[in-house]
Structure 1
Amino acid sequence: MAGRWKNDLNWSEVTPKPVWLNRRHLMLGAAAVAGGLLAGPVGAALGGRPSKYSTDEAINTLEQITNYNNFYEFGSRKTDPAKHASALTTDGWEIRIDGMVDKPATWSMDDLLEGVTLEERIYRLRCVEGWSMVIPWTGFERADLLNRVGVQPSAKFVVFETAERRDEMPGLRSPVLDWPYTEGLRLDEAMNPLTILATGLYDEPLPNQNGAPIRLVVPWKYGFKSIKSIVRITLSDRQPRTTWNRLQPEEYGFYANVNPRVDHPRWSQATERRIGGSLFAKRKPTKMFNGYADTVAHMYDGMDLKKNY
């Protein structure tokens, strides 16, 4: 199907789908790799070798990942995207890449993925409400695409834009946000190997409610930074005014790094609750940079992260 990447693996070649989707406590650590335990799709695509950035935490189920989402284009409740996102058509999807690049162009998904080596990556994602998931993304490093279009020396920021289709996205009828949804990263953040463009989860194409057919994943930042259903990527020399930052700048800063020492004005961000766990389970301490400090902290050396929240 045009515009939708599909894994070459068949379910018959890996762990049966019902078994995989209900395996709530699969651990993806080095010991599991050494012991040959990665028989399912997450390991199979790389011959049993997950990304070096993979967490060893248990993965959330497909049902949990696809039924608890923030995607305001389909509604403001977390159950709305699963109800309404089926209306989104992704065939023939195109992404415009422009601004301060040597090769501005409009790319089809097939062109975008030509020659790309897809990797299976497991990330912990936490959002500003204090809940978290562990999701097995399929994707490729954002830097790979930037290197292909040729970033000009004066570029400092990367701006992303979500599709705006009022006939397919009922949430656009509400003035709750300024449409289309936009987000941005500093160039060094976009080039960090932890920043990926995701095209699937588990071994299937990305579901609509999770940002089909392509979305950003920035696992050391709060969830609203990982923009969905991207149609435009622009390189700029100016820091963009992003959607939530324009709407409520005192609550949603441009950087939005996971930081337990910086509270949201209306709630603490020092602890988190895992989706899929018991409502009565003890909340866990939130980790600085979502546990990825070794890979990303150097980008913020000398910065006041309470001021640059």
Structure 2
Amino acid sequence: MWIRRRQPGDSAAIVASEITSEATYLNRRALLQAALAAGVTGIGAAMWSDSEAAAAALKFTRNARFSTNEPPNSYEDITGYNNFYEFGTDKSDPAANSGRFKPEPWSVTIAGEAEQTGKFSLEDILKPHALEERVYRLRCVEAWSMVIPWVGVPLADVLQRFKPTSKARYVAFKTVLRPEEMPGQRYNVLEWPYVEGLRIDEAMNPLSLLAVGVYGKSLPNQNGAPLRLVTPWKYGFKGIKSIVEIRFTEKQPPTSWNISAPREYGFFANVNPNVDHPRWSQARERHIGAGLFNSRVPTRMFNGYEQEVASLYRGMDLAKYY
């Protein structure tokens, strides 16, 4: 098995003092991969932690074409400040409350308007595809942002394998339902399980990514282990986590936040500084990790990916289809 994880019962929270800097991490990962290639085993825990050893299991190439040149946030930022309501509504809750979640073994159901459907292991879905790293901006509807080095496969590559029919106008996604492991699902914050969707042309856009890792490491539970969606030109709530079903549909599928508050959260959820949330402005954003006194910066249309995705919405009223 090529994705290695913490065992059930291990602590999910990562102490700040135990976080490896990006430069040190990259150097260690390179050394570890070289050691593994040479057949070296039994590397001491004093030199590499379990999580760092797991990083070597994700072999990938960097896709510079779709990666921003902006410096990524720290591993601590990315794994410690999250929206994942299945584990709680506070930003620190996912890291604190996801330790009992079991991300393996894992399977994904492919259903709906496609020639090939069924239940597939995560390995079967990913095996034909080479992993790549893409450094994407993340912009959340609460007006904060990060830059994250995701590892995954293009969503289009996965979907095309199952041969969607001409009736497949949308792609719907569903999160696992495990309230015994995901304490947030015991409360009626949202309708569970979490559901999301894309128009088929959005799903097939080269930017759309199915992520299995971050910073070269397997996705931590709090970041959507073992499989999540990344669409960098949309607000973060579109990035459904811990995916167990992908369904091709003819009609627009329901989405969790649109069900909960349709006036506030539309189906498309494109980053648009000209369309405010009913309770706050989206014109500016706060970059996580930039310091307490860092001023907010202007939000970019489509989160800065206008060149790649604007053609998807040509002729649409983006104030109406928000």
TM-score by length of 2: 0.83
Query: Which letter does structure 2 place at the counterpart of 1:69?
Result: N
- 2:247 aligned counterpart, secondary structure: strand
Residue correspondences, number? 278
Partner of residue 204, structure 1: 217
Matched letter for residue 20 of structure 1: E
**Which residue matches 2:206?**
193
Once residues 23 and 227 of structure 2 are traced to their aligned partners in structure 1, the CA distance between those partners, rounded to angstroms, is 22
Q: Aligned residue for 1:82? A: 95
Stretches of structure 1 that go unaligned for 5 or more consecutive residues are 7-16, 24-39
Calculate the TM-score normalised by the size of structure 1.
Answer: 0.87
Which residue does 1:148 correspond to in 2? 161
Task: Give the C-alpha shift of residue 294 in structure 1.
Answer: 0.5
1:3-152 equivalences under 5 Å are 4=3, 18-20=20-22, 45-46=60-61, 49-152=62-165
Offset, 1:5: 6.3
Give the % identical residues: 54
Alignment of 1:260 onto 2:258: no
Q: Distance in 1 between the 2:21 and 2:174 partners?
A: 37
**In structure 2, what is the Cα distance between the partners aligned to 1:236 and 1:5?**
33
Amino acid at match of 1:281: N
Secondary structure of the corresponding residue to residue 161 of structure 1 = strand
CA contact (8 A) 1:22 1:61 kept: no
Q: Secondary structure at the match of 1:140?
A: strand
The 5-angstrom pairing of residues 264-275 of structure 1 reads 264-275=277-288
Q: What corresponds to 1:297 in structure 2?
A: 310
Q: Deviations over 1:183-208 (max 9, x none)?
A: 00000000000000000011110110
CA distance in 1, matches of 2:308, 2:60: 24
Instruction: Supply the AA of the counterpart residue of 1:206.
Output: L
User: Which contiguous aligned blocks of 4+ residues in structure 1 show a shift greater than 2 angstroms?
Assistant: none
Please state if 1:218 is matched with 2:220: no
Is residue 2:258 matched to residue 1:245? yes
Contact (CA 8 Å) 1:251, 1:265: kept in 2 or not? yes
| Aligned residues of 1:21 and 1:61 also touching (Cα < 8 A) | no
Contact 2:275 2:282 in 1 (8 A): yes
Q: CA RMSD in A?
A: 1.8
Measured in 2, the distance between the counterparts of 1:104 and 1:74 equals: 30
